[in-house]
Chain A
Amino acid sequence: AQSVTQLDSQVPVFEEAPVELRCNYSSSVSVYLFWYVQYPNQGLQLLLKYLSGSTLVESINGFEAEFNKSQTSFHLRKPSVHISDTAEYFCAVSKGTNAGKSTFGDGTTLTVKP
């Protein structure tokens, strides 16, 4: 079985500051990792994913995440946040490349203040 722990339930930051949302996972087998974003009253959107290859993955809106196998982590970072990044962020893990059957962390609420 796999599990996901998001270490911070809420992260408040000021606009243009850097941010890191932390995610640790546990699994007895190889896993694939995802970050999803959920804006208020909306569904989930895939932000980025790690399947294999380069351990640093990037999204089109400036977020990046680094897969660290030894520390079983997949932290999400952005060097400069915007007000529009305010949302709920979910880290998820799947066994095999089956994104539809992922196990989700409890989520981190990112609040960007002006």
Chain B
Amino acid sequence: DTEVTQTPKHLVMGMTNKKSLKCEQHMGHRAMYWYKQKAKKPPELMFVYSYEKLSINESVPSRFSPECPNSSLLNLHLHALQPEDSALYLCASSQVGEGGANTEAFFGQGTRLTVV
């Protein structure tokens, strides 16, 4: 199984809603990532979890709250989002090698989020 599964595939939410994006992998990877991708733009790294601990937060607003409940799951909790947060949210995972090295990141299909 070399899949990273993201749910839901599409999400429409109001600016006052609270919702969560979910990501799951069963490859035994101990590093997981959230990326944000706007249309016609490259992915931008948001968060990195290594061994279930948050290791990188790329100055993401607090209305995005990541959570890694176990080594297979990664959530992104959303609250009070703005229309400009509409984007494709990608989850990825990778092995963690010596010195933090990993040579391939596996991406999910993404959640297309629309904030209205």
Contacts and interface: CB of A to CB of B under 8 A. Distances in A.
Interface string A94-112: 0011111110111100000
Given A44-B90, A107-B42, A100 B102 contact: yes
A46 B105 CA distance: 8
A41 B112 contact: yes
A49 B113 CA distance: 30
Interface in A74-91: 90
A49 B94 CA distance: 15
B107 A97 contact: no
Interface string B34-71: 00000011110100100000001000000000000000
Interface residues of A, number: 22
B105 A100 contact: yes
B103 A97 contact: yes
Given A44-B90, A106-B42, A107-B41, A97 B105 contact: no
A100 B97 contact: no
**Chain A contact residues: helix, strand, loop or mixed:** mixed
A43 B99 contact: no
A101 B45 contact: yes
Nearest to A43: B107
Contacts, number: 61
B97 A102 contact: no
B81 interface: no
Nearest to A92: B42
A105 B42 contact: yes
A63 interface: no
A51 interface: yes
A100 B109 contact: no
9 contacts: A43-B90, A46-B105, A49-B103, A51-B103, A99-B102, A99-B105, A100-B105, A104-B42, A106-B41
Interface of A: 32, 36, 41-46, 49, 51, 90, 96-102, 104-107
Given A96-B100, A104-B42, A106-B42, 5 more contacts: A44-B92, A99-B94, A100-B102, A104-B43, A105-B42
Top 3 A-B pairs, shortest CB-CB distance:
A104-B42, A43-B107, A97-B101
